[in-house]
Structure 1
Amino acid sequence: MKKIFFALFILIQSVIHSQNIDLRNLTMNSNLILFVESSDFDYGNKYINDHSKAGFIKVNNYEEILKNDSNIKFIDKEIFCPQSENDYYDSNMINGGGCMGIAESIDSNRKYYGILFFKKEKKKLTLLAHLFKSDFDWKNIIEKIKKVKEIEKSKSPEERYEKSIDYYLKCKDLPNSDFINYYRQVKFLKSDTLVLTEKQLILAKDNFLEGNERYYELISKKFPEEVKQFYINKMKGFLNQNEDEYFSSYDFSEAYERATNTNFMDDSVIGKLKGKLSDEITPKERIGIIQTLIQNAAQED
């Protein structure tokens, strides 16, 4: 019965966990985190009436306690497990924005691992999240959780901010708007732009040059030449496209604008030439325009 239910749970929950998760926030919002094997726990339901039920998870063992500041006994206890369409309604599913999850096939001869995140609410634990995909790098995820625990020990907002930025950069990620809004609220940040140390800026630049363009706003003024060359190289990549490949005039134009520090509404001769890329033109004409724009970008100071 457990294997059938577990497969069903993967099918349902993959809709939720197919989205990117901010592991820092998830760790900080959890009071108990367990690294488990699939035989260490069971899911179940208690039916209240014909239209609602109380879901629970019962943990009977664990591989490792990654965090525990709950002071609540959890072994062999029925812990509340919120369920979609019973305890909450996922907005993506209601509004048609969700993606279809595909259940993983379960091999009875194989061990499956996961991480359970619990939140303490009114002296009781509630399941907050369950990571379980078989292709997850568990060692890497556990190391990240332990690094977040070190951030939680910070003695000041300044230290917490700096360590958090270090964490995100090493994970090749960026904090979300809630993080920025909080540090603006406490007057640590003066704008929506993150403040980085010299060492952090170099790491952000390295992440950018590896292809993570989310760092553009942070590093473009500090490293203009590296940014310019990155986008010139990106523009050159469009010359290697086959004629039957989709050409994104938006992506090319953005690369040109960032390489030359111009904007979309460029009314110059070269700007009007760039605008022709969105028109119906032949591949030969497109290549000619791209070559001209690359040459112009390389000559820009």
Structure 2
Amino acid sequence: MLNNFFLFLLTLFSFAAFAQNPNLRKAILKSDFIFASDEYQYKTIKKNDYTTEKYISITKIDTILKNRLSKIPDKLIVRNYTDGEDFYSFLLTNDGGCVRNTLVSDDRITYYNLFFVCKVGKEYQTLVFFNGIEYTTYKNILRQIQTIKNIEQIKELKARFDKSLDWFIDNGQMPDLDFIEYYKEKELTTDTIHYSEKQYQKALVQFEKGEEELLPIVKDKFKENVKNYFVKKLETILEKDKLDYTDYYEFYESVDHATNNFGENGYDSANYLLNNNLTSDKFDEYDKKKIMYHLLQVVKDWE
């Protein structure tokens, strides 16, 4: 079974979202071999009337970014798993690639291809394949690979744990369940992670830059900063002449975060109902604007 391995379906988004995806960290850590190549071919083998196996034959490796293999095969053929082949998929945005012998489009933009590969028995399997991505993105992925490789090589477990927490904060992410469970077993943390003062301060800086996923770290320690952040965000939305669904949803979500869902028994409050109906058709634009100004004041007064 392949349930321990990832094939990440690729789609084009910004690198900011991509770099913050915790699956990138897992993909780098799980990979035995990460390399760039512009010379490869797809191969398909029909095993029978219900099974098709897909492979990628690598003609030339341009750049090696990570290598845990004892020997790189002279003729590297990588199993390319696709949907429906006993794996679970995660969306990763498409950023990163190779260095040399790259494709150049008509508008002279250079593109790169990047392979994340793990070895299972005698078979080499794709975890991630980034196909046709730009140089700026490649540099960002390269930085991530190098950073995570350095953390992975730390022998002392507590030091690796602390450096990993730094990585999560730097990338606007909360530690995932696998990470927490592993270090709980090692008795280095509990369900509630205790960050250093330096990490708290770094998390606040990142949060105030817009990394809102770090809210659980900062919301109790920096209550006034968190409130001011959301007040400013709500005021910015209200300054717009014309609001669309995205604005209403962002406003609703920000109010929800700023008030922690309106506190205990908040689901029964009138403000909760008003906030949740901002994205519905129950109110017209004029009434929604009035509700939003009211909710802004609620957030300002929230303790």
TM-score band w.r.t. shorter chain: 0.7 to 0.9
Taking a change above 3 Å as real, the CA distance of residues 228 and 284 of structure 1, as seen in their structure-2 partners, is same
Unpaired segments of 5 or more residues in structure 1? 1-13
Greater Cα shift, 205-214 or 68-77: 68-77
Find the aligned partners of 1:260 and 1:84 in 2 and give their Cα distance: 41
Taking a change above 3 Å as real, the CA distance of residues 252 and 124 of structure 1, as seen in their structure-2 partners, is closer
Amino acid at match of 1:263: G
Runs of 4+ residues over 6 Å off in structure 1: 247-250
Q: Deviations over 1:160-205 (max 9, x none)?
A: 11111222222233332211222223322211x3332222212211
Q: Which residue does the alignment assign to 2:9?
A: 16
Q: Which residue does the alignment assign to 1:169?
A: 169
Amino acid at match of 1:158: K
Q: Is the Cα contact below 8 Å between 1:168 and 1:174 reproduced in 2?
A: yes
Which one has the largest radius of gyration?
Answer: 1
Q: TM-score, normalised by structure 2?
A: 0.74
Q: CA deviation at 1:89?
A: 5.0
Q: Which residue does the alignment assign to 1:34?
A: 35
RMSD: 3.5
Pairing 1:117-266 to 2, within 5 Å after superposition: 117-135=116-134, 137-191=137-191, 193-242=192-241, 245-246=244-245, 252=251, 255-256=254-255, 258-259=257-258, 262-263=262-263, 265-266=265-266
Q: CA deviation at 1:70?
A: 1.2
Greater Cα shift, 46-55 or 125-134: 46-55
Taking a change above 3 Å as real, the CA distance of residues 110 and 204 of structure 1, as seen in their structure-2 partners, is closer
Greater RCO, CA 8 A, separation 6+: 2
Q: Is the Cα contact below 8 Å between 1:59 and 1:74 reproduced in 2?
A: no
Q: Deviations over 1:197-218 (max 9, x none)?
A: 2222122112211222111111
Taking a change above 3 Å as real, the CA distance of residues 201 and 61 of structure 1, as seen in their structure-2 partners, is same
Q: Is the Cα contact below 8 Å between 2:172 and 2:212 reproduced in 1?
A: no
Find the aligned partners of 1:64 and 1:196 in 2 and give their Cα distance: 37
Q: Is the Cα contact below 8 Å between 1:232 and 1:294 reproduced in 2?
A: yes
Find the aligned partners of 2:286 and 2:83 in 1 and give their Cα distance: 53
Unpaired segments of 5 or more residues in structure 2? 1-6, 13-17, 95-102
Percent identity of equivalent pairs = 22
Residue 16 of structure 1 aligns to a residue whose secondary structure is strand
Q: Which residue does the alignment assign to 2:43?
A: 44
Q: CA deviation at 1:119?
A: 1.0
Taking a change above 3 Å as real, the CA distance of residues 195 and 43 of structure 1, as seen in their structure-2 partners, is farther
